[in-house]
């Protein structure tokens, strides 16, 4: 089973990879997507990343006994 520190490292690596892929895709699609649509897509992408980050943080900081589900808590967002 993966240790928490290893899981956190993998999650951070995955977030950087997805971010880099998004930047490259945005550059490649700049000429194909109208300006108004680009703004909408960037906003949706930001919301998706915030949701993914909140889920990762929640799993990272959730507490519970071994073998039980972690307790749900509120996660502050900006």
Looking at the domain assignment, is residue 70 inside a domain?
A: no
Provide the pLDDT confidence category of residue 11 given band limits of 50, 70 and 90.
Answer: confident
pLDDT digit string, tens, across residues 56-71: 778 777 754 444 566 7
Domain membership of residue 50 as a residue range: 4-61
Asked whether residue 78 is assigned to any structural domain, the reply reads no
- pTM for the model stands at 0.44
Nearest to 60, CA basis, from 78, 77, 49, 75: 75
Asked whether residue 73 is domain-assigned, the answer is no
Residue 76 belongs to a domain: no
Residue 14: per-residue pLDDT: 82
CA atoms within 13 A on the CB side of 60: 15
pLDDT digits (tens, 9 = 90+) for 19-53: 888 788 777 777 777 878 888 888 888 898 888 88
Which H, E and C letters describe the chain, residue by residue?
Answer: CCCHHHHHHHHHHHHHHHHHHHHHHHHHHCCCCCHHHHHHHHHHHHHHHHHHHHHHHHHHHCCCCCCCCCCCCCCCCC
The domain total for the chain is 1
Q: Is residue 36 one of the residues assigned to a domain?
A: yes
């Amino acid at each position: 089973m993966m240790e928490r520190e290893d899981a956190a490292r993998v999650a951070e690596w995955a977030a950087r990879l997805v971010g880099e892929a998004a930047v490259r895709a945005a550059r490649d699609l700049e000429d194909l997507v109208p300006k108004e649509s680009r703004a909408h897509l960037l906003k949706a992408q930001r919301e998706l990343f915030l949701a993914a980050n909140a889920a990762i943080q929640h799993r990272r900081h959730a507490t519970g006994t071994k073998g039980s589900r972690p307790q749900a808590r509120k996660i502050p967002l900006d």
